[in-house]
Structure 1
Amino acid sequence: MFKSLLFALSLATSAQAGDLATLRIATQVSGTVNWELTTITQNGFDTANGFRLEVADVAGGPAAQIAFEGGAADVIVSDWLWVARQRAEGRDYVFIPYSKAVGALYVPATSTAQTLPDLKGSQIGIAGGPVDKSWLILRAYAQSQYGFDLAGQTSQVFGAPPLIYQTALDGQFGGAINFWHFGAKMQAAGLRPLVTVQEAALALGLNPDTPLLGYVVQGALLRDHPDVAAGLAKASRAAKALLASDDAAWQALRPQMNAKSEAEFQALIAGFRQGIPSAGAVDEAAAAKLLAVMADLGGAELVGNLKTLPAGTFYTP
Structure 2
Amino acid sequence: MDRRQRIAIFTTASLPWMTGTAINPLFRAAYLAKGGDRKITLVIPWLSLKDQKLVYPDNAMFGSPWEQESYIGQWLERRIAFIPDFGICFYPGKFAVDKRSIIPVGDILEIIPNEEADIAILEEPEHLTWFHHGKRWKTKFRLHILAVDAADGEEKSTRGEENRIPRLSKLSAATQDYPRSIICNLHGVNPKFLEVGKKIFEQLQSRNRAFTKGAYYIGKMELAGLEIDLYGNTEDSDQVKEAGNKLKLVVRVHPGRDHADPLFHDTTDVVCTTTAEALAMGKIVICANHPSNDFFKQFSNCRTYDDGNVFIEATRNVEPVPLTDAQR
TM-score (norm: length of structure 2): 0.28
Q: Which has the higher helix share?
A: 1
